[in-house]
Structure 1
């Protein structure tokens, strides 16, 4: 059996989505796959059992059929953190090992989802990444988000934490205008340092999009119409606070967008509905004119009503962007396409001893 720990140099770098991509690939190859998250952070209830939300989602998407109590060893709750701060004994290792041994009995490969950053997450409760990989005797795959050259330092530090257990590095979220530089300069730099680079993934508009449903949840907004279209993905955001003539030119530049505007700006709302718009966010708790509601229903464009003003709404959206959790099938399909195009997954399989 192979155990592969997927960790990252920072939070929200793409660990869960990478586990899904690898899990789908390994299942297609006929391997028995299991998923495990030693430390969970986001509790959810499944069949009356409290487990980690990401782990439950991976179990569902990969159709693993694992029992909820086998998906995560322990949840990093406020109670556990309080015990750590008071120097009280915290014994979650036994729970982690019990769950891991149970799920791994009938698996060819166990994908282990890391929590937060390899560099620091888990230290307060006595379970840093190095301790977890040793406990599970896991090989480790590192994924790092690339912004600029300074991102390399974090990846190097994270790779040092993983040590000899590291089998490869995936560089994620590379801006399109830096992709050639990363491939021609940064990857050879890593390779000269003995770090196996599996590939670089470009920043992708679909993967960084937000569904209308997520947007409504983020803003605590009321969906006034077109509930059946809330799973559509928003790829751009436009703020409407100009003349109609300027707005039309502005709106036409951005497809698949959400338009944020005051609930009293019927002129801008009508302009938005004549362009490629996924939803309109009406701010200030001002309900739209009946004509707008009717036209939105014709165009199948959800209207979201929020109590916040436009500035506050924009700030709330900015806070959630870059911290998205993948839950849409369209994103998973896109991730598979990108992985097959940009990653040397055969090399990864060779490193894991899974080469076909």
Structure 2
């Protein structure tokens, strides 16, 4: 009989996929058999108005992780249901809360598999309850162990973990605190972690906040802003880590831009001086708001430097709000992020302690 491990969180975009990558890579390198899936699909490029739900239902996160780790198709577990406004309406019409026959089949497959079944759960502790696939329901139904990845802000961040421990009981084997301000990591390890351990919460890792993992691609900003791409269409894979607003005088702007890296700069379409200054800094894309079109010399310079130039209909404040909401709320679907996630988990998580709790023998490689 194999082992089942659920990776969950108290809130969405907490870093579950990064931990999954680190765990799966380490086990694969040591020769362990491992399968991966998401019982409830939450990330899928699907248009409900044009096509039925694809079968087998492979979540985009699952496909990316499988491709990154070189998993064969039979090591990717199809999702049982897809969460979306359309399917929620359908579930409400059925008036049922269980996951149905396919969940029983999953239980049988998991029990028969001799390796580790690694499953990433939905965004929060109780998301998926309507489908019978919330984290507590899965833990109980599969007899699985659980690791929670939890965003850490301050001491109040403890409360959701304590509530989760009460809900999950003995299924919870540990937590990983994520996105900790780098200068707070040591203080957290020495002052907070011992208290959490005393509460019965095994802390398996304290991972510092990563601008790279929180970054967003230019293409994602284009999508969210409904922006027009004026030049460098092929450079939309660039990653934006910080946001700057070009609303000051040009001398102040240049000094400010020099201190930032991998920026998206938002400024009015009429501020050519700020726009040209931004192009000479660590800028990944320049976003123009308001009326007016960019001058030809600006477009020429952006093309010379391979910096995408975007034009949006929103005012500067609205555009900034949209961009700020994007940081830290995008999927881990870029190879450079995956590579960094491997290192982050390896350096900051006690994977051997986790494997011991799962009764897995894993040799260092």
Count residues with an aligned counterpart: 355
Indicate if the aligned counterparts of 2:216 and 2:326 stay in contact, CA closer than 8 A. no
The answer to whether the Cα contact below 8 Å between 2:152 and 2:178 also exists between their aligned partners in 1 is: yes
Give the distance between the partners of 1:47 and 1:75, measured in 2 at CA. Answer: 10
Q: How does 1:56-205 map to 2 (within 5 A)?
A: 56-66=63-73, 70-82=77-89, 85=92, 88-99=95-106, 101-102=108-109, 108-118=115-125, 120-205=126-211
Determine which structure has greater relative contact order: mean sequence separation of CA pairs < 8 Å that are 6+ residues apart, divided by chain length. 2
Map 1:265-276 to 2 at 5 A.
Answer: 265-276=271-282
Measured in 2, the distance between the counterparts of 1:40 and 1:144 equals 20
Shift in Å, 1:125: 3.8
Structure 1 window deviating more from structure 2 (149-158 vs 32-41): it is 32-41
Counterpart CA distance in 2 for 1:68 and 1:139 is 20
Residue 49 of structure 2 corresponds to: none
Cα deviations by residue, 1:222-254 (Å, 9 ceiling, x for unpaired)? 222223322221111111112211111111111
Are positions 1:350 and 2:356 aligned together? yes
1:237 aligned to which of 211, 236, 243? 243
Deviation at 1:312, TM superposition (A): 1.0
Q: Secondary structure at the match of 1:43?
A: coil
Q: Find the aligned partners of 2:299 and 2:198 in 1 and give their Cα distance.
A: 60
Residues 206 and 331, structure 1, Cα contact 8 Å, conserved in 2: yes
2:43 aligns with 42
Q: SS of the counterpart of 1:112?
A: strand
Cα offset for 1:65? Answer: 2.5
1:335/1:311 CA distance change after superposition, 3 Å: same
Alpha-carbon distance in structure 2 between the residues aligned to 1:104 and 1:293: 60
SS in 1 for 2:45: strand
Over aligned residue pairs, what C-alpha RMSD do you find? Answer: 2.3
Which string of whole-angstrom CA distances, capped at 9 and with x for unpartnered residues, describes residues 155-187 of structure 1? Answer: 111122221112211111111232122101111
How far 1:260 moved relative to its partner?
Answer: 0.6
Q: Which residue of 1 aligns with 2:305?
A: 299
The worse-fitting range, judged by mean Cα deviation, of 43-52 and 293-302 is 43-52
Matched, 1:228 2:229: no
8 Å contact from structure 1 (residues 167, 196) kept in 2 = yes
Which residue number corresponds to residue 315 of structure 1? 321
Structure 1 residues 104 and 262, CA gap change in structure 2 (3 angstroms): farther
Contact 1:285 1:308 in 2 (8 A): no
Q: d(CA) in 1 for partners of 2:90 and 2:260?
A: 50
Kindly indicate whether the alpha-carbon contact (under 8 Å) linking 2:149 and 2:178 is maintained by their aligned counterparts in 1: yes
TM-score (norm 2): 0.89
Distance in 1 (alpha carbons) for counterparts of 2:222 and 2:97? 38
Q: Distance in 2 between matches of 1:107 and 1:157?
A: 32
1:107 and 1:53, CA in 2 relative to 1: closer, same or farther beyond 3 A?
farther
Matched-pair contact (CA < 8 Å) for 1:47–1:68: no
- Structure 1: tracts of 5 or more residues without a match: none
1:331 aligns with 337
Q: Cα distance 1:112–1:189, how it changes in 2: closer, same or farther (>3 A)?
A: same
Alignment match, 2:10: 9
Residues 258 and 55 of structure 1: CA distance in aligned 2, closer, same or farther (over 3 Å): same
User: Which aligned segments of 4 or more residues in structure 1 are displaced greater than 6 angstroms?
Assistant: none
- 2: distance between equivalents of 1:43 and 1:211? 18
CA distance in structure 1 between the partners assigned to 2:10 and 2:315 by the alignment: 36
Counterpart contact for 2:7–2:149, Cα < 8 Å = yes
For 2:75 and 2:359, the matched residues in 1 are separated by: 29
Distance 2:11 2:244 in 1: 29
